[in-house]
Amino acid sequence: MKFPRTMRTHCPRCKTHTEFNVSLYKAGKRKAAKQGERHQKVRKRGYGGQKFPLQHNQAKVTKKQSLMLKCGECGYTHQRNGIRLKKVEFE
């Protein structure tokens, strides 16, 4: 699906319609020093291995994609609700 690079929509901080820059949400990089990663490392130690089931056979062929909108005037950033898409393009 094609999306515009900029769109005019309501900004809750400016309390009016402004020009927003549109981009695709991407999950942040996993950091080995973070608490959850450290806990998982401890849990996986010794006999027993993996502590929760990993999903191997995926039923879905698409991924939920959500748009990040950044206000051009105040820099306020928010996300649009995710929709299932195979391909995302920006014009």
In the complex, the smallest distance separating the C-beta of residue 58 from Zn ion, rounded to whole angstroms, is 38
Q: Which is nearer to Zn ion, 37 or 73 (CB)?
A: 73
Q: Which is nearer to Zn ion, 22 or 88 (CB)?
A: 22
Contact string 6-45 vs Zn ion (x = CB under 5 A): -----x-xx-------------------------------
Residue 13 CA to residue 74 CA, distance in Å, equals 8
In the complex, the smallest distance separating the C-beta of residue 77 from Zn ion, rounded to whole angstroms, is 10
Side-chain-facing half-sphere of 86: CA atoms under 13 Å: 1
Q: What sections of 44-84 are H helices per DSSP? A: none
Q: What sections of the chain are H helices per DSSP? A: 35-43
